[in-house]
Amino acid sequence: MFFHPPRLGAYSHVDSTGEPLIPFANFMTERASRTAQTLENPETFDRFSALPLELRNAICRSCDARTCFQLMHTSLSLRAEAQMLFWTHPEIWYHVDQAWLVYDYGRPGSEPHCPEFARQIHQVEVSFEQLDYVFHESESRNPGRAATLIGRQRVTAEREAFDTETMAKLFWEAFQVNFPAATQVVLSETWARKQPAPFPKEFVQVIRACPPGVTVRLSLIEFFMGCHRDSTRTLYKLGSGKDASLELVQRDWFRNRVMLPTKKFSGPVGTFQRLSLRSVINECRYNAIRQARFKAYESFHFGGHKSIPIKCPEPKCDVVCTVEGEWVEHAISTDHDECHSEEEEYPEDLNLD
């Protein structure tokens, strides 16, 4: 399901919801290169190390995550301060897919990212399609079924034999082993939920099971008017007290969501992991290009007080969009922006025999 955010076309890589999911290397170099190109008279400031320690630290604390990362690779006098600021910087939420933690139990070797890097980060976003579905307690638990299966099917059968509390405990154990420094965690969904509606009980159960010292929030995509174009990402926290419920923290929550840097792949399994990760990155890049195309197309038809209707290019579709936003929603829900007529796909003079 594709989410239509207000910041359409603002990122180099986005996921299927249209939200940022940027490879670490791209995130660290994109803005730095653009900034360098805008400097008209760059000069070398070689007296920074002579400044008082308090002033140097104050300057470092005002830097963004990219700058802190660069400072980590400079002088010894700056490295310690820059490292502390980088790992705790609130600008970045590092993305982790739930499948590795849930179905592989976070076992080493199955992760695509650098484990040493992961052990240092403080802010993590674990992405689910539907969190309650993953932790839903099976109505007909069969503990013996798992023994007859292998691989992911076995893990799935094992989890079906657990209750929600046990599944949440296993999840958080795997999380803490791999991210021991994490203090801020967001459990996010990519599934758009129609509101108003009661929250599934699994939300509270999973948050309550989190380790001490970890602050957990829940992020959902919600729409209220029957139109995904009006969707918004919200952020919730669990209130205090035994019978506490979820409380709204922020609407229209956006963040720089960054993939963890990759590990060094080796062997046949490593080749498969590298190709799988490359496929994900390429898809995110394509999604961003598609969003930029939407933005340019709608700007041509409706920008600058213009109102030029958009006729769907799908030959068998009669939809005509007359209001900004309609074409994006239609194209996303039907993929008609990517269609080709049969004549274009199979020209008459092409011999397919």
Tens place of pLDDT per residue across the chain (353 aa): 444 444 545 789 999 888 999 999 999 987 544 444 454 555 665 677 778 878 888 888 889 999 999 888 887 778 888 898 999 999 999 999 999 999 888 888 889 999 999 999 999 999 999 999 999 876 555 656 666 666 767 776 676 778 899 999 999 999 999 999 999 999 999 999 988 889 999 999 999 999 999 999 999 999 886 555 678 999 999 998 888 899 999 999 999 999 999 999 999 989 999 999 999 999 999 999 998 898 898 899 998 889 999 999 898 899 999 998 888 888 888 888 876 544 444 444 444 44
Which strands, in side-by-side order, build the sheet including 123-128? Answer: 246-250, 232-238, 215-223, 184-194, 123-128, 92-97, 256-259
Tokens of 104: 């592989």
Q: Are 95 and 85 in contact (CB under 8 A)?
A: no
Tokens of 24: 């670490």
pTM: 0.83
Tokens of 300: 């041509």
What's the pLDDT score for residue 122? 97
Tokens of 83: 């490292």
Query: How far lies 184's CA from each of 62, 204, 296, in Å?
Result: 21, 17, 37
Q: Are 5 and 278 in contact (CB under 8 A)?
A: no
What's the pLDDT score for residue 2? 47
Q: Hey, which bits of 70-213 come out as E strands?
A: 92-97, 123-128, 184-194
DSSP state for residue 200 in the 8-state scheme: P
- CA–CA dist 269, 285 (Å, integer): 24
Q: Are 234 and 248 in contact (CB under 8 A)?
A: yes
DSSP state for residue 48 in the 8-state scheme: G
